[in-house]
Amino acid sequence: MSGPVQGFFQGRNKEEKDTKMAEDRESRENEGSMYGYGLEEILPVVIYLTNKYTSGESSSVPYEKAEMLMEAVLYCIRECFTWNTTGVLPAVNSLSARQAYDKGYEYVTEKVKMARALYDGLITDFEDYGCLNYRKTVLEGLPAFFLKYDIRFCPQDHILTLDYPDMARGEAQCGADRIYSYLSHLCMEKRFLEQFDRQAVCRVLAGVQPDYRELYLDNICEAVLFQAVKCVITDSPVWKLETSGDEKELLGIYFDGDTREQAARKTAALIEMLVGAMGNAVPDPEFRNYFGQMGKAFSARYLLQAGSRE
């Protein structure tokens, strides 16, 4: 056994090697077979990438590096069949594994360029509302991705921990996919936040966390959206982000008799109505869908505030 497969065996005892090889083979065969490729078709691409990684000086690398290069190949193949700017995806089995890898690599490169364009838009007239975590993630953390991201040999690693959360928690993405998605979300959130006066946003954050400038680690837009929808429910001026009247009573009246599912649907509809009412500033369905996903979580909190058991 030679090439990168041989590298799987370096630095491990025999039992560990045999077990890990069996697990890795099954995992990669499963992923490769999703696009019609067996391991015997993918390994030559890994060998090609290994030769590039070692500059042709060796066909054997340590297990961890071989694993990294295999994941790099699979990542690009997956990208070939799941994303491109034309919206027309190649049919499974229409390309060789090497062709799919090369095409996927091109798509990853293109996605990084698009992510960079999103980032440039995000930092134009950037407002952090005094939130240290948001500022550091955007202005200090994200630039490191564009400096250190390894498209060729480790595209599956997006490097950053992304300490400031977007509203799409739990996304199972990695590499350029994760950064592109993350920046898309932050740009949409920025567009929403720009509809409100800075001081109004800061008041909301201070109400959630008095020392929010240093200690607030959650999503700014989520807090503002939650308050804005509450303003709609209580018939308060949305632009002020302050409710009037008996908040608990008005929430109770609005959700009176609703099950959790009904309350979630009503809240999602309110969110979509709210962002839709912003006119040309937020014209696309993607924006409304992204914010509308918060309906279930928000409604549960509104019901709790209203004292409902449903």
pLDDT tens column, 237-289: 999 999 987 899 999 999 999 999 999 999 999 999 998 877 555 557 888 88
**Both tokens of residue 308?**
């409902």
Query: What is the value of pTM for the model shown?
Result: 0.87
Task: Supply the DSSP symbol for 239.
Answer: G
pLDDT tens column, 156-194: 999 999 999 999 977 789 999 999 999 999 999 999 999
For residue 51, give the H/E element and its range.
helix 39-53
pLDDT of 309 above 50 = no
Residue 126 has a CB neighbour count (10 Å cut-off) of 12
**Residue 45 and residue 75 in contact, taking contact as beta carbons nearer than 8 Å:** no
Q: Give ∠ CA 51-55-57 in degrees, rounded to 5.
A: 80
* Backbone conformation region of residue 216, classed left if phi is above 0, alpha if psi is from -120 to 50, else beta: beta
According to the model, what pLDDT value does residue 276 have?
Answer: 84
